[in-house]
Structure formats: C-alpha cells, structure tokens
Chain A
Amino acid sequence: MARAGGAQAASFAAGSRRYSYDLPRSVPWPGMGAIHVHNLKKTYRVHRKPQGLSASVRSLFRRQYKMVRAVDGISFDIEPGEMVGFLGPNGAGKTTTLKVLSGLIYPTEGHVRVLDFVPQERKNAYRRQFALLMGQKNQLWWDLPAAESFRLHKEIYTIDDERFERVQDDLTEMLSVKDLLNQPVRELSLGERMKMELIAALLHSPSVLFLDEPTIGLDVVAQASIRRCLRDYNRDHGVTVLLTSHYMQDIEALCDRVMVINHGRLVHDGPLQTIIERFAAHKILTLRFQEGAWPDRIEDVGDVIEFNPPAVTLRVPRESVTRHAAELLSAYALSDVSIEDPPIDDVISAMYGDSAMMTPDQEASGA
C-alpha cells in the first residue's frame, strides 16, 4: 500500500509505532484519546408480545412494554491508532455500543465522545471521519458494479478526483479485487463482496473505523485477506479500529487489546492473554504413559477430555495441575507430559456463562 501523504501528511511517532494521517482533518494526537466512553447506558422499551389470540387482540388496545437494558454502564478509552477487539455473546450490547458511537442511537445515560465530537449531534464533520461496516448488511447497490457505488461515495463524501483514484487503486490492489470492479455486486462471491464493502468504508479515509463482524460467513482465505488488509491499513494510516467478531482468529491476529462485554457490562478490558490468566480456571494436561504403566483411577486427577490409551487428556484445576503432574511423574513411567492453556474460545465461552451467573437479574438484548 502506497503511503498517503505528500506535503499535507502529518506523521508522528507514538511509542514504537508510526502514524500517518491525511489532512485536512482534525488529527487526534496521542493523549487526546480517539474514543471516550463514560458510564454509557442504553435502555430500550420493548413491546411485550403476549401468547395466544385473545391476548394478542387485547394487546392491540393496551400494549405492555418492558424495559430492556442493552448496555449497562460501560466505560473505556481508546487511543488513536489502537485496534481494539470487542467480544461478547449475541445480545451482549456490542452492536448497540457501536451504534451509539456512530451517532445512530441516543445513549440513555452517560457521555460519549469520538474524535472530540459528540456522535449523537451527527455533525457532517464527524460523519466524514468515521465508517461503520456491518458484515451482515449490504451497503453497495446490489445490481450495479461496485465501481458505481464507489463513485457515489465520492460525491457524498466530496472526495476529489485525484485522491479518489489513488485510494481506490491502493485498496483494490491491497485486496486483489481490481478486475472485479466492473462486475455487478450481485455476481460477486460473499468474500469478494465483503472486500468491496470494506473498500467503500475506507474510501473517504476515515480516522475511526467501527467493524461489526466484518468476516462473518467468509471462507478462511477471504478472512485472512481481510485481516491482512485491516492490519496493513491500520499500520499505514493509524486508523483507530473497534472490531467485533465471533472469530477468535480475527481478534488474535489484529487486536492487542480486547474488551469483553456480557449482559451490557464490561467484564474484561486488557490484552487477550490476560483473559486466560484471569478467567481460565483449568489447564489442559496431556499424559502419555509407557507400556504397562497405566494408573487405576486417572479420573481422580481431573475431567477426562480425551481417552486414547496409552494417552489421555485431562482438564485439571489450575492451582493443582503442577502438583498432579509431579505426583504422576514420580509414580508412573511416562513418555510425555504437557501442560497447556485451554483454547481461548473455551475460556471466553466459559466467561460468558460465569458473568451471566454473576448478574442473573439483568435482562440484556438489543445487539
């Protein structure tokens, strides 16, 4: 990807990384914070649909509503150029948060600032500086080649000709879809279409990018390609990214920092690795015994995950795993022992379950 720049580009070093921005824009300098969210709450009023015909008829005249708290007091700050993963089960409040940050819905309570704008004021100056990409929605004209939708974006975002050509060239090259530009979108594969959607979102060179499941339903190759593009684009342009995904590979590959939300509350904010340290109650112990050295009551050590004599894989409580391993090593002839962290997916899903138990009275929806 060629560097956007020329005389107007401002670049500066922050830590070990270099950021470069295209001007004119209000450039968020490090320390100012690209995104600031304080005690954000969002409550929806939802029509309570009764069961049965007579109740349905009654509800025509007298509707019953219940209040659903989709986001329940979350706070975080994101620095310019950061790429943050946003994890949580369906209905946890991820999409609601992204929509509040985009100015699409009003927060019920709390403060939100993005690039020093208040999103719900929906100023054009703000809307020129961010993009929201939703993997499950389609923004391009279905029956038209993507190139025509891009030209429309050019007019709506008043991008000048030279800059438009350059950005479009760079992005189509980066995602290797140059030869598909003039093919109707409906004839593209899901992966190709998603790449075009991503280009449309980046055409106006946003400073902040909200990505809601950008790789959903894509094959492995397309996922990797989109991931690579996002990583390179973030590195070259210092764009701030908040990304939700159900694929842990996306988060592992792209995000140094992860926020986990469940039932509208932030349950973790930090590096991905610390999730394992904080939330994995177990370790995975794999043992391979030598001939004739099989112990009688292996299930006393931990839960058996895989039973494949002479090898066995067990889930063992974190605090006792080294003791058990040492005891087994001294008592039996073992050819191999390994202790590993559980897969991150498992830790996260266990976490969703745990935090649900912590707040059983919360009803969450709206994502």
Chain B
Amino acid sequence: MKLSEIKDLLNADVIVGEDMLGSVEVETAFASDLLSDVLAYAKERALFITGLTNPQVIRTVEVLDLIGVVFVRGKVPQMDTVELAKRKNIPLLRTKCIMFETCGRLYGAGIKASIEKVD
C-alpha cells in the first residue's frame, strides 16, 4: 500500500516526505512506545507507529531500516526530530487516531504485522 493511501486512511498530516507519498510502499507495521522493544523485535521496512516524539525515534528508524513513522494521538514531533527526519529522508505522518484505532485501520486495509508474536 502506498503511503498516500495510509495518509487518507488515517486522516493524517504529512510532516516530512510529501514527495515520498506516491513512491513509498508499505507492507508491514510495528506499533510501540518502547524503543527497546522496537529494537528487539521490529523487522526492516516496517512502518513505525508510536506516540514518542523525540529524535531517538528517527535514530531507531535508521538503525533498523524502518520505512517511516506515524505519530498517533495527535502528538507533534519535536523540532529536532523533524529536522533529523528531513536530513535522513524519513517520511513522518501525524494522525489524531489513538494507537489502537491506527493499527485497526491499517490492519483492516491489509497491512501485516512486522512480527506476529514474540517467542
């Protein structure tokens, strides 16, 4: 699914990456507010759904080669987070949906879990 479709599904604002909406293809997602868990379990190319807004979110995306970030619950990322994302070409979306609703809409539209369960 294209990032532009995800934007529509979630009524999201695009903070970074307007130019990437049509090119970035999303197949999987990982939702968490704990970066260590993301580091432990997320697989590359997942869309990262979070309520965290600090620059470490972008570092984590970079370390794991994730595809982009959706900030949930209407959270506005910090300035330095946005700057870093711009520099690293990482698309950022922001939705007013809560995390559960965000995941539900994406799942319903065919986005799969980055990892289904933890063994």
| B partners with A | no
Residues of B within 8 A of A (CB): none
